[in-house]
Amino acid sequence: MTLIDNAFGTGDATAPGVLSFLRRGQKAPCRIALIGGYTPRKCGIATFTTDIYEQLRAHHSDVAVDLHVIDDPRSPLAYEGVRGLIRSDSAEDYRAAARRMNEDAVDAVWLQHEYGIFGGQDGDMVLELVDRVAAPLIVTLHTVLAEPSAHQREVLEHILRRASRVMVMSQHSMGLLQELYHVAPERVAVIPHGAPDRPFGRGEAYKARIGHQGRRVMMTFGLLGPGKGLETVIEALPAVVENHPDVIYRIVGATHPNLVASEGERYREGLEKLAQDLGVAANIEWDNRFLDLDELLDQLEACDIYLTPYPNMQQSTSGTLSYAVALGKAVVSTPYVHARELLADGVGVLVEPRQADVIAAAVNRLLDDPDELRAVQKRAWDKGRETIWPRFAAAARALVESVVVRPARSMPLLATPGFSGVAAMGDATGMLQHSIGTVPDRRHGYCLDDNVRALMLMGAADSVPLAERQRWATVYASFIQHAWNPEAQAFRNFMNFDRTWCEPIGSADSNGRTVWALGRAMNDAPDEGLRYWASQWFDIALAPVAAMDAPRTVAFVMLGCIEALRANPSHGAARESLQHGGELLASLLNEARRPDWAWFEAMLSYDNPRLSQALIGAGQVLGRDDWTQSGLSSLRFIARQQVSAQGHFRPVGSETFGRPYENMPFDQQPLEAWAAVDAAAAAFAATGDATWLRHAETAYRWFLGGNDRGEVLGDIVSGRCRDGVTPQGVNLNCGAESILAFQLAHYAMVALAQRPLAGKTRQEPNAPDTIAMKINSKGTQQLAGA
């Protein structure tokens, strides 16, 4: 059950189930969704995911971990204790997993990324998940390609745009992210692969366990395949055996299942034949198994020298290399990325790839000098203390904490925003559209949409001095007036900074919004002359704009007609247009409604609650209770879509537009929060149900930090507002639409707070009988009891 089902929550930002956020900097219990392979799957990603799960449980029990396992449907496995199973080739499984994570109200999502474990081209099916999760996304990149294909780069860049933090295990990978993918360094965390903490120097005891006491033991572990470079070590063995006949090279690990599926054991058999031909078959011991961790560690302890002769120099991590170093083994390795960093400063020995004679010389040098061998082993063990599991777990916990949303402070709900930010976006022509940060960007000029919203604000912002409101209202009215194209019988929308129009006719919605603003101005423009002017222009524009039939245009015209009838109840054209619009919206709702989709269209878009608001208002004005009830039912539906499982407002994201029966969480726009406040106010006016007051408050708190990233968008001092919430945080620009949405939502909340609860038809238990306004010593208004 969501909070919207449960009476929209409590409306109290400190109540359980509404905003469980705490102050930044405090560590508190949190819940994450961990995505990757998992035991008993035999691969490096599965082992690493299992390590994260187990080490967080062991060292940081305050982090609850939900496992969502990527499973290969070609060889499905049974998993214990998992929250969800994602078939790697099922797009719907990825989408369903994202829905479950959102419903579970997890604090973060942690994805293990490797191109080969997800379905689609270059694993692009995982984008179905990352685009839909609302919680901050952490991504561990197990491979960062220096030379990706065009599509590999496209997939990774898409993931990087969604991620709040990126984890890699090497400085080299971090450098690639900065140089090739332009990821800011503060978004990247380098956490070396974790490793166990075991005492140093127990090799002989563990050799005895496997029957090799007194012998020189070399070892390589992992899934066998051509990428391991084992043939090079086998080619080096004759020179090693010549000097040290008792040496045994243990090759531990099953053949990679994909290789077995394509060619059986041909690769392993080829290695065995190579050993036979070179006369060293007796010096090789094969253990054709994928070991569990404890047995692997025991066998690592039983070796003197661990080899990773990988030919691929781009390999960014090797779990077994980390284990071998932490256990104090002398490592001879090719200089792939992980080895170069971990084995620097004499921690191990680096050799060129595919050079058997060089490997033989390195191994013989160590075996010839027991003191040097032990010194290298001790340097490795000392280095391993940096990556032991407690340190890895602490770094993992800190990584999670860095993205968990914990707003810095609470804010008085109805503190009145300043006006300077509004004024800064305007000039003698009108309201400028966009900004770079807080500075207006003149390159994009002006638009009608923003000027009609600004005119609405001048009617509502009674905290602004009257003379100031009159001056600016006249500027905005002049822009609207000039936007009318008498030949086209429609308003233009976009104007360049040089005051030239960009098109002869603006969008239908911009025309509809203008009729709405003119209707509002008939009632609340800041002087009688402007109210008269608005009445004239409402009459000029109504008929041609009301003929436009886009649903939102119809809703805006209806809202304008409701306002016009409030000013002039005998306005016949307004009543006729309202009747027509109500019939159209009611028809759309009836046609599009499904058991799980009580909406006017198959797709959600922007300003969604305006459709419900218009139908509720029309029902009230025209005495059509069926319209009122339809409007309320559709508003309940869209409210459910826009309240998260945590209880905060989550507006329909702009990425939803054009996707049938979808609701994407980003990008979130201020316009949606304002629309939700207004529509909730209309529902409260129709029903007296205090539930709608709480929903209005939930929507308004989105501006004040009650959102998916805990970001405060509205600045009370200046009255500016950031342009929205993105996966990575907040859009720092402060455009006119955002500023006006914040301001208008505030004044809508003030108006709502001044309404009595009398006439309510249903009230939740313990709901207040009145809405009281508290004014503190500084004049700050705060809604109490809503």
pLDDT one-digit tens code per residue, 496-531: 999 999 999 999 999 999 999 999 999 999 999 999
How many whole angstroms separate alpha carbon 545 and alpha carbon 542? 5
Which pLDDT value is given to residue 27?
59
Kindly list the domain boundaries of the chain, sorted by start residue.
30-194+398-403, 203-383, 420-784
Q: What is the pLDDT of residue 407?
A: 63
Confidence of residue 408 (pLDDT cuts 50, 70, 90): low
What phi and psi, each to the nearest 5 degrees, are found at residue 608? -55, -45
418 DSSP 8-state letter? P
For 170, half-sphere exposure in the C-beta direction (CA atoms, 13 angstrom radius) is: 23
Instruction: Examine the pLDDT at 5 and tell me if it is beyond 70.
Output: no
What percent of the residues of the chain are helix, what percent strand, and what percent coil, each to the nearest 5? 50, 15, 40
CA dihedral over 768, 769, 775, 780, signed as positive or negative: positive
Q: What is the pLDDT of residue 43?
A: 85
Cα separation, 587 vs 615, whole angstroms: 11
- Give the dihedral sign, CA 673/675/681/687: negative
pLDDT at 12 over 60: no
Question: Percent of the chain having pLDDT more than 70?
Answer: 92
Contact 219, 305 (CB under 8 A): yes
As a whole number of angstroms, the distance between CA 719 and CA 717 comes to 6
> For 680-703, what is the mean pLDDT?
97
Phi, psi of 219 (to 5 degrees): -155, 145
Separation between Cα atoms, residue 117 and residue 757, nearest integer Å: 57
CB contact at 8 A, 162 and 290: no
Residue 117's DSSP bridge partners are none
Are 772 and 755 in contact, with CB atoms under 8 Å apart?
no
Residues in the chain: 786
Across 600-610, b (16+ Cβ under 10 Å) vs e yields: bbebbbbbbbb
What's the rounded mean pLDDT across residues 231-250?
Answer: 97
pTM of the model: 0.86
Residue 470: pLDDT band (50, 70, 90) is very high
pLDDT, average across residues 347-358: 96
The first and second tokens of residue 673, run together, are 């929060």
Answer yes or no: is pLDDT of 565 > 70. yes
Q: What is the pLDDT of residue 322?
A: 93
Tokens, residue 566: 């409030």
Q: C-alpha angle 179/184/190, rounded to 5°?
A: 85
Distances (CA, A) of 467 to 429, 455, 472, 476: 18, 14, 9, 14
Q: Which amino acid is at 384?
A: G
Instruction: For residue 757, count other CB atoms closer than 10 A to its CB.
Output: 18
Whether the per-residue pLDDT at 784 is higher than 60: the answer is no
Segment 135-156 mean pLDDT? 95
Which of the pair, 642 or 2, is modelled with greater confidence? 642
Q: CATH assignment of 203-383?
A: 3.40.50.2000
The pLDDT tens digits for 183-233 are 999 999 999 999 999 999 999 999 999 999 999 999 999 889 988 999 999
- Compute the chain's Rg from CA coordinates: 33
Domain 30-194+398-403 and domain 420-784 have a common topology = no
Q: Which amino acid is at 555?
A: A
734-758 tens-digit pLDDT: 999 999 999 999 999 999 998 876 4
Distance from C-alpha of 54 to C-alpha of 619, rounded to nearest angstrom:
58
Task: Return the DSSP state at 487.
Answer: T
Q: CB neighbours of 491 closer than 8 A, spacing ≥ 6? A: 448, 480, 483, 484, 485, 505, 506, 510, 511, 514, 541, 545
For the sheet with 494-495, list strands across it: 432-436, 439-447, 494-495
Q: Which residue has 């009159």 as its token pair?
A: 470
pLDDT at 24 over 70: no
Contact 642, 672 (CB under 8 A): yes
For 311, how many CA atoms within 13 A lie in the half-sphere containing its CB?
Answer: 12
User: Are the C-beta atoms of 703 and 742 separated by less than 8 Å?
Assistant: yes
Cβ–Cβ under 8 Å, residues 247 and 234: no
pLDDT of residue 771: 46
Strands 305-308 and 330-333: parallel
Band (313; pLDDT cuts 50, 70, 90)? confident
Q: Are 134 and 103 in contact (CB under 8 A)?
A: no
CATH number of the domain located at residue range(s) 420-784 in this protein:
1.50.10.10
Residue 385 has φ and ψ, to the nearest 5°, of: -65, -20
Smallest Cα–Cα separation from 218: which of 232, 101, 121? 232
User: Locate tokens 């009301």: which residue?
Assistant: 546
CA gap 84, 106 in Å, rounded: 14
Using CA atoms, how far residue 363 sits from 243, 278, 307, 331, in Å, is 10, 18, 9, 9
Residue 141 β-bridge partners: 113
Q: How far apart are CA 197 and CA 387, in angstroms?
A: 9
In the structure, what pLDDT confidence band is assigned to residue 135 with cuts at 50, 70 and 90? Answer: very high
- The residue to which tokens 């001879």 are assigned: 332
Domain 30-194+398-403: state its class. Answer: alpha beta
Q: How confident is the model at residue 314 (pLDDT cuts 50, 70, 90)?
A: confident
Distance, CA of 610 to CA of 518 (rounded, Å):
17
Average pLDDT value for residue range 436-459: 97
Answer whether residue 15 shows pLDDT above 50: no
User: Which residue is associated with the tokens 């909340």?
Assistant: 749
To the nearest whole number, what is the mean pLDDT of the chain?
91
Q: Which amino acid is at 24?
A: R
User: Which is higher by pLDDT, 21 or 480?
Assistant: 480
**pLDDT > 90? residue 2:** no
Number of Cβ atoms within 10 Å of the Cβ of 173: 26
- Look-up: residue for tokens 């290969």? 72
d(CA 392, CA 56): 9
